[in-house]
Amino acid sequence: MVAEQKLTKKDFTSDQEVRWCPGCGDYAILTAVQKTMPELGIPPHNVVFFSGIGCSGRFPYYMNTYGFHGIHGRAPAFATGLKMMRPELSVWIVTGDGDSMSIGGNHFIHVLRRNVDVKILMFNNRIYGLTKGQYSPTSEQGKKTRSTPYGSLDNPFNPVSVALGAGATFVARAIDVEVTHLTEMVKAAAAHKGAAFVEIYQTCVVFNDGAFENMTDRKSKHDTVLFLEHGKPMVFGKSRDKGIRLRGLTPEVVTIGENGVTEADLLVHDAYSNDPVYSFLLSQILPPVFPTPVGILRSVQLPTYDALNRDQLEKTTAKVGRGDIDTLLRSGELWTVS
């Protein structure tokens, strides 16, 4: 009997030279994914990465798996097609905030609402990197870029709220430099049966440097990031003395030990809650009033589109037999144009 070989990061690393700018957050995400893959126990030949257009679009080249660098915003369509036909494959989508929230917004919401069993990693650098720094749908209002020299007037999208609004069954948020946490999120997304969406805050050092600085700087991050843990009260702050409390449906920041507030008063995170009000409320806990929640916001089980489709196909074939495209095309009213 041949002993099963243990997979390592090397097995998922391609021989391609990585061509992102030095210091780009994409490197940390690539390393996290390459490190996580061996732990999933899926051989590289059963893994496929799809991407759209943007700096993030280069991701599949660097993975020693199957890969497909598609067209702008359309990775969900290709990924859906493959998952429907090859359910045994682990199918991933790597996309940017421009790729998935602008031109690909439509594909993004539908792959989530259908709950196709694919994993989506969105690198959110709040800018168009590849095309040299135009504002994106996640750029903050007032953002000055080459395409908004007097400041952007747009209200930005909150991708996590968009995903929840589309009915996503798994929604998480992570930060490129919080590698251990990011790895956990990638693993949890992989384990989810259904469409899993992970928004990853990613620094574009060239066109949007410092966008997430207050969430990554050692001095400020304890006050600006809330690490969500299922079943645990929402505590944050350097001294772990701040928390989130609910007043009716309104969250508020409180200090433990002040005005009689104890840990027992805080909101306890339920990652598996099926209540859309709770998940959406969580997605709206945002700076500057609140810290940014990272972790699993929602994880619920619903039938996947690909499985439902296979089931329907099997049952219908058993009832009416295998279809034939030529017969179908000639089955209706036909006429000849002369």
Ligand X SMILES: Cc1ncc(C[n+]2csc(CCOP(=O)(O)OP(=O)(O)O)c2C)c(N)n1
Provide the binding-site residues for ligand SF4, judged by CB under 6 A. Answer: 20-21, 24, 26, 55, 125, 129-130, 204-207
Tell whether residue 131 is a contact of ligand X (CB under 6 A).
yes
Q: Which does 24 bind (CB under 5 to 8 A by kind): ligand X, ligand SF4, none?
A: ligand SF4
Strands in 250-255's sheet, in edge-to-edge order, are 235-236, 242-247, 250-255
- Pick one of 33, 55, 190, 196: the residue that binds ligand X (CB under 6 A): 55
98 binds ligand X (CB under 6 A): yes
Closest CB to ligand X among residues 58, 298 = 58
Q: Rule CB under 6 A: which of 192-231 touch ligand X?
A: 204
Spatial distance between the Cα atoms of 28 and 111, rounded to a whole number of angstroms: 26
Q: Is 299 in the site for ligand X (CB under 6 A)?
A: no
In angstroms, give the least distance from the CB of 155 to ligand X: 17
236 binds ligand X (CB under 6 A): no
CA angle 277, 280, 285 (to 5 degrees): 125
Min separation Cβ 76 and ligand X, Å: 14
Q: What kind and span of H or E run contains 277? A: helix 276-283
257: exposed, middle or buried (Cβ count in 10 Å: 0-12, 13-18, 19+): exposed
How many whole angstroms from its chain centre is CA 40?
18
Element (H, E) at 71: none
Cα 143 off chain centre by: 24
In the complex, the smallest distance separating the C-beta of residue 79 from ligand X, rounded to whole angstroms, is 16
Q: How many Cβ atoms sit within 10 Å of the Cβ of residue 314?
A: 10
Buried/exposed 112-140: b ≥16 CB within 10 Å, e otherwise: bbbbbbbbbbbbbbbbbbbeebbbbbbbe
Return phi, psi of residue 307, to 5°.
-70, -40
Name which position in 25, 60, 129, 293 contacts ligand X (CB under 6 A).
129
Write out the binding residues for ligand X, residues 152-171 only, by CB under 6 A. Answer: none
Q: Which does 128 bind (CB under 5 to 8 A by kind): ligand SF4, ligand X, none?
A: ligand X
Q: Least separation, in Å, of the C-beta of 277 and ligand SF4?
A: 35
Closest separation in Å from C-beta 321 to ligand SF4? 52
Residue 96 as a binder of ligand X (CB under 6 A): the answer is: yes
Given ligand SF4, ligand X, none, residue 53, with its beta carbon under 5 to 8 Å by kind, binds: ligand X
- Regarding 295 and contact with ligand X (CB under 6 A), the answer is no
Q: Which of 64, 89, 97, 295 is in the footprint of ligand X by CB under 6 A?
A: 97
**Residue 193 site contact among ligand SF4, ligand X, none (CB < 5 to 8 Å, cut-off depends on kind):** none
CA atoms of 145 and 128, how far apart (whole Å): 10
Using the minimum distance from each CB to ligand X, give the nearer residue, 101 or 196. Answer: 101
> Binding-site residue total for ligand X (CB under 6 A)?
19
Measure the CA–CA gap between 155 and 50, rounded to whole angstroms.
29
Instruction: Please state, in angstroms and rounded to a whole number, the distance separating the CA atoms of residues 286 and 258.
Output: 23
Question: Which residue's CB is nearer to ligand X, number 108 or number 236?
Answer: 108
Tell me if 96 sits within 8 A of 24, measured CB to CB.
Answer: no
Q: Which CA distances in Å does 54 have to 71, 149, 260, 300?
A: 10, 22, 51, 31
How far apart are CB 176 and ligand SF4 at their closest, in Å? Answer: 10
Question: Cβ closer to ligand SF4: 91 or 175?
Answer: 175
Residues that bind ligand X (CB under 6 A): 53-56, 72, 96-99, 103, 123, 125, 127-131, 136, 204
